[in-house]
């Protein structure tokens, strides 16, 4: 396998596809290469070409979660979501760009069952073991999006700058369809370069986990208040980060038999998140 260090974001982007894959911190990609979930002839190393650091609310996609969790310039919800992700070692390698694009943790998918997301015709989790799975958007694929920071960025109304366009973080994600099983709208030869994060009046991120640390979210709730409006977004409840229009939208969830408990957790965390936001 070749390892290349491109000299510009454009050169990096244009070399992707046809067996070339972007490598940032490698914390998700390297295990997937090892397990045969991703095939690559060439790894395109992003460190020299994707911006890193925070300036006036703009975050380089190459900034690590460890750097973000301690940056006082950033909204509390994003700092808390980064601090609640993975382990200190993983956070010091893992970048925010890679975090937003990490693959599902659904074990059927990771174990290469020929499920809907792998191009098959059924969701093995729906019929099998699915305690960690979704309560929204789960009719075709019932996986639960693993990123804590993505939910925080969604609640904050962040926008992404890529090598091709600018888009709201909400538009980075899509539910799979018959024709297109991808969970993101990013093109194969498109890189995330920066994130633009608005400053709320107050924000918070709360996470329910099986263990107190180093665990993916059973449910994560981000709340961000901008004046009279409060935006809510959830992690761990749908194949993509999920914007919750208001707390009562939880009553429209479609839990599976094994995920009904997540609705209760989400109700409690939404209540707590809203109560914890200081009023003006
Ligand atoms: C044991 C474990 C526990 C974890 N727990 C959590 C958790 O609780 N919460 C959570 O949110 N996350 C968790 N994670 C995920 C972790 O945060 C991500 O693996 C990490 O942030 C990915 O960043 P990376 O730089 O290592 O990405 P990589 O592994 O290098 O890349 C991941 C993917 O993103 C693509 N990519 C990377 N950067 C870019 C870019 N700028 N533009 C376009 N494509 C890009 C790569 O091609 C690849 O497909 C966990 C991971 C592990 C292994
Ligand atoms: S939840 Fe999605 S990834 Fe998991 S088995 Fe079902 S289709 Fe595959």
Domain segments of the chain as ranges: 2-276
DSSP letter, residue 69: H
Q: Are 38 and 47 contacting, i.e. CB atoms less than 8 angstroms apart? A: no
**Residues 166, 51: Cα–Cα separation, whole Å:** 15
Determine the residue of 14, 15, 21, 28 to mutate for testing ligand 1's pocket, defined as the one with the most ligand atoms within 8 A of the Cβ atom.
28
Q: How far is CA 88 from CA 12, 55, 69, 77, 93, in A?
A: 28, 23, 11, 18, 9
> Strand, helix or coil at 196?
strand
Is 1 buried (19+), middle (13-18) or exposed (0-12) by CB count in 10 A? exposed
Residue nearest ligand 1's atom 34 by CA:
98
Q: Which ligand has the minimum distance to the alpha carbon of residue 239? A: 2
Across the chain, which has 280 residues, the per-10-residue mean pLDDT values are 96 95 98 97 98 95 98 97 97 98 98 97 96 98 98 98 98 97 96 98 97 91 97 98 98 98 98 91
Pair 190, 160: CB distance under 8 Å: no
Ligand 2 neighbour 117 (Cβ under 6 A): yes
CATH 3.30.465.10 fits 2-276, yes or no: yes
Query: Which pLDDT score is estimated for 280?
Result: 66
Which ligand sits closest to the CA of 107?
Answer: 2
- Closest ligand 2 atom to residue 123 Cα is 6
Cα–ligand 1 centroid distance for 227 (angstroms): 33
């Amino acid at each position: 396998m070749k390892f290349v260090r491109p000299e510009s974001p454009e050169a990096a982007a244009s070399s992707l596809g046809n067996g070339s894959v972007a490598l940032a911190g490698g914390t998700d990609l390297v295990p997937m290469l090892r397990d045969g979930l991703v095939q690559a002839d060439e790894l395109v190393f992003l460190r020299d070409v994707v911006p890193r650091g925070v300036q006036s609310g703009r975050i380089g996609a190459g900034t690590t979660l460890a750097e973000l969790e301690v940056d006082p310039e950033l909204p509390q919800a994003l700092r808390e979501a980064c601090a609640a992700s993975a382990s200190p070692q993983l956070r010091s390698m893992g970048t925010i760009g890679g975090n937003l694009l990490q693959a599902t943790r659904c074990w059927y998918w990771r174990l290469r069952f020929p499920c809907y997301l792998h191009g098959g015709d059924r969701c093995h989790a729906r019929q099998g073991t699915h305690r960690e799975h979704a309560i929204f958007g789960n009719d075709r694929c019932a996986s639960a999006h693993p990123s804590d920071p993505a939910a925080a960025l969604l609640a904050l109304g962040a926008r992404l700058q890529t090598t091709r366009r600018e888009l709201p973080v909400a538009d980075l994600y899509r539910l799979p369809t018959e024709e297109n099983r991808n969970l993101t709208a990013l093109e194969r030869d498109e890189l995330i370069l920066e994130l633009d994060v608005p400053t709320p009046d107050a924000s918070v991120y709360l996470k329910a986990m099986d263990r107190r640390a180093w665990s993916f979210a059973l449910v994560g709730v981000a709340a961000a208040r901008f004046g009279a409006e409060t935006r809510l977004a959830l992690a761990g409840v749908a194949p993509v980060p999920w914007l919750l229009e208001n707390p009562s939208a939880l009553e429209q969830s479609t839990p599976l038999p094994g995920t009904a408990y997540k609705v209760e957790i989400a109700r409690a965390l939404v209540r707590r998140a809203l109560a914890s936001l200081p009023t003006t």
